[in-house]
Structure 1
Amino acid sequence: MSDAFVRNGSAAGAFPIAVAAGAGRFSSGMLRVQFNLLGGASDQIAGLMFGLDANGDYFYVRYNTRDGNLAVWRVRDGQREVLQHGEVHRQLPLGVWHELVVRVRGRDVAAHVAGDPTIAVAHRLDREPEGRVGVQVKRDAITAFRGFSASPSLP
């Protein structure tokens, strides 16, 4: 196991995750979470993490107020890499509940903000993302989450 996951966890650019207890392993299905962007020094972020493996590698989809869009990211060996940015850039208001929906089917990932399907992103991963799931933020972001769910089958 690489120690980069632990070593980078306290770095200035850290992107903390919270792994969902009881969700088990996830490879295909739908993830949902409500989020409320409350503050942060540089920007506000809310993300859904999936495919967390024993090495600490994972994928996530995040909404970011600075970019005003969704993006698919990968963390491998402790290093972040953007895979795809959404095309629509729209600032969501702070202090309001929103919902992030991520659908994973094999290697295909599609996500949107409920209530505004134009804030969306889709990408084909290089591998199927089997592993644990949870939420993700930026170190200085203040984000509230509620209503997390992981459904192994698509509706």
Structure 2
Amino acid sequence: MNNRNIIACVVSAIGLAALALPGLAAQPTTIDFSGETVGGEPKSFVPVVGIWRIENDSGKKVLTVDGRQWKEGQSSAGIADKARALYGERYAEFLDRVQAYAYFPYAVVPNVENFTGGEITMRFEGLSGRIDQGAGILFNLKPNGDYLTIRANCLENNLVLWKFEKGKRSSVKWVRNTPTATKQWHELKVRVSGSKVEGYLDGKLYLEDTLSQPVSGRIGLWSKADSHMYFSDYTIRVD
């Protein structure tokens, strides 16, 4: 099968299998993993960096990023085809930045092309990781690979708004003393209104910042290095 046929198959598979988000602008919609295959890559997210798969947690299907198998510089399998499906003719530009950020696993919601305001909420549990146990909500993802993420960390008990731009990572806002026990489920929420960003952990507002430009881009999940994490109940509400 030539490259064009491979790309066409990937685009078709994502288009057919990705979870539909009916009435997204009218009410919150939660991505449901119940129809996914345990042990396989998710269809409701597109893994870009790292190892992502569906697992069973006490009878409920969850999404796992498995940093136990992590290697620095490791993109997800078939990354060129996935990038082409997400960004079309700009996929090569996107790939350049993916390679620069391969220390940070992330997966993208394929059928939300431009989130500009509202709330994104997800639940996470830190299972293991000696370097990190990071769980983040990725947003403002651009075709050139730049993005923002608010992340919690079960080893550090802090909440950070990170900016990834032109191959470099920098902190925008850093909040300490945010209790995030490992091997317990927590809820992380990002609230966006124009250029204003708020970060909530377990229902409490910890982080507020006003960006230089309004948010506009794709969304997803984020992690770091050797983090082994569970994710569930990824919910989107668009203003």
Shorter-chain-normalised TM-score: which range?
Answer: 0.7 to 0.9
Whether 1:49 aligns to 2:138 is yes
Deviations 1:69-95 (A, max 9, x none): 111111011211100012x41442211
TM-score (norm. length: structure 2): 0.58
1:6 to 83, 98, 108: 98
Q: Whose RCO is larger (CA < 8 A, sep 6+)? A: 1
Deviations 1:14-59 (A, max 9, x none): 1111101323310111000000111112121100000101000110
Q: Distance in 2 between matches of 1:16 and 1:60?
A: 12
Task: Please report how far the alpha carbon of residue 9 of structure 1 lies from its aligned counterpart in structure 2 after TM superposition.
Answer: 3.9
Whether 1:60 aligns to 2:149 is: yes
1:24 corresponds in structure 2 to 113
Paired AA for residue 186 in structure 2: H
Partner of residue 130, structure 1:
216
Alignment of 1:89 with 2:181, yes or no, is no
Report the secondary structure of 1:5's partner residue.
Answer: helix
What TM-score results when the alignment is normalised by the length of structure 1? Answer: 0.87
- 1:73 to 2:162 alignment: yes
Structure 2 gap ranges (5+): 1-92
Structure 1, gaps ≥5 residues long: none
- Tell me the residue number matched to 2:124: 35
Greater share of helix: 2
Quote the RMSD (CA, aligned, Å): 1.6
Question: How many aligned positions are there?
Answer: 147
Q: Distance in 2 between matches of 1:2 and 1:33?
A: 25
In the alignment, the residues of structure 2 paired with residue 131 and residue 30 of structure 1 have an alpha-carbon distance, to the nearest angstrom, of 14
The answer to whether the Cα contact below 8 Å between 1:27 and 1:130 also exists between their aligned partners in 2 is yes
